[in-house]
Chain A
Amino acid sequence: MAEPAKQDSNQVVDQGLEVGAQNLSADRIEKVINQVLKGEGGARLKAYVDTCIHCGLCSEACHYYLSHDKDPRYSPVGKVKQTLWEMLKNKGRVSARFIQSASAIASTECNACKRCAMYCPFGIDIAYLMLTVRRICHLLGVTPLYIQDTAHSHAATMNQMWVKDDEWPDTLQWQEEEAQAEIPDLRIPLEKEGADIMYSVIGPEPKFQAQLIYQAAVIMNVAGVDWTMPATPGWDNSDMAMYTGDNEIMGRVKRAHFETAARLRVKRIVMGECGHAFRSVYDMGNRWLGWRMPPIPIVHAIDFYHELIQEGRIKVAKKFESPVTLHDPCNVIRGGGLADKARYVVNAICDELIEMHPNREHNYCCGAGGGVINCGPPYKNTRMQGNRVKAEQLFAAKSRGAKVLIAPCHNCHSGLEDINHHYGLGYEIKFISDILYEVMEKQV
Chain B
Amino acid sequence: MHSLYNFVSGPLAWLAFIVFVGGSLFRLITLFTLIHKKERFIYTYFSLKYSLRSIVHWITPFASVNMRRHPFFTIVTFAFHICLVLTPLLLLAHVTLIDESWNLSWWSLSESAAIAMTLIVIACCIFFLVRRLISPEVQYVTAASDYWILAIVAAPFITGLLAYYQWFDYQTMVILHILSGEIMLVAIPFTRLSHMLFAPLTRAYMGSEFGGIRHARDW
Contacts and interface: CB of A to CB of B under 8 A. Distances in A.
A123 interface: yes
Contacts of B201: 47
Contacts of B69: 60
Contacts of A228: none
A362 B214 contact: no
B218 A72 contact: no
A54 B137 contact: no
A309 to B, nearest CB: 20
B195 interface: yes
A51 B41 contact: no
B192 interface: yes
A50 B192 contact: yes
Interface string A51-93: 1111111011100010000101101011001000000000000
B85 to A, nearest CB: 16
Given A119-B66, A292-B45, A125 B138 contact: no
B7 to A, nearest CB: 32
B84 to A, nearest CB: 13
A48 B203 CA distance: 11
B110 to A, nearest CB: 31
B216 interface: yes
Contacts of B142: 54
Contacts of B215: 336-338
Interface string A106-136: 0000000000011101111100000000000
Centre residue among B37, B218, B219 by max chain A CB count within 10 A: B218
Contact of A334 (B135, B205, B216): B216
Contact of B31 (A43, A56, A287, A338): A43
A44 interface: yes
A361 interface: yes
B58 interface: yes
Nearest to B214: A335
Contact count band on B:
35 or more
Centre residue among B38, B137, B194 by max chain A CB count within 10 A: B137
A118 B218 contact: yes
Contacts of A122: 195, 198-199, 202-203
Interface in B59-99: 64-66, 69-70, 73
Nearest to A41: B38
A51 B192 contact: yes
B39 A44 contact: yes
B136 to A, nearest CB: 5
Contacts of A81: 140-141
A42 B44 contact: no
Contact count band on A:
35 or more
Contacts of A50: 192, 194-195, 198
B137 A65 contact: yes
Contacts of A42: 34-35, 37-39
B29 to A, nearest CB: 12
Interface in B31-63: 31-32, 34-35, 37-39, 41-42, 44-45, 54, 58
Contact of A78 (B140, B195, B207): B140
B213 interface: yes
A44 B205 contact: yes
Nearest to A74: B137
B165 to A, nearest CB: 31
A247 B135 CA distance: 38
Given A117-B218, A287-B41, A337-B214, A124 B141 contact: no
A283 interface: yes
B217 A118 contact: yes
Contacts of B217: 118, 361
A48 B202 contact: yes
A54 B138 CA distance: 7
Interface in A176-228: none
B141 A46 contact: no
A56 B215 CA distance: 26
Contacts of B198: 47, 50-51, 122
29 contacts: A42-B39, A43-B34, A43-B38, A43-B39, A44-B39, A44-B42, A44-B205, A50-B198, A51-B192, A51-B199, A51-B202, A53-B146, A54-B138, A59-B137, A61-B66, A70-B137, A118-B65, A119-B65, A122-B202, A123-B58, A123-B206, A123-B207, A123-B218, A125-B206, A287-B41, A334-B214, A336-B214, A337-B215, A361-B217
Given A122-B198, A336-B215, 15 more contacts: A44-B205, A47-B31, A47-B198, A56-B138, A56-B141, A57-B70, A72-B137, A73-B140, A75-B137, A119-B66, A283-B213, A283-B214, A292-B41, A335-B214, A337-B215
Interface of A: 42-44, 46-48, 50-57, 59-61, 65, 70, 72-73, 75, 77-78, 81, 117-119, 121-125, 283, 287, 292-293, 333-339, 361-362
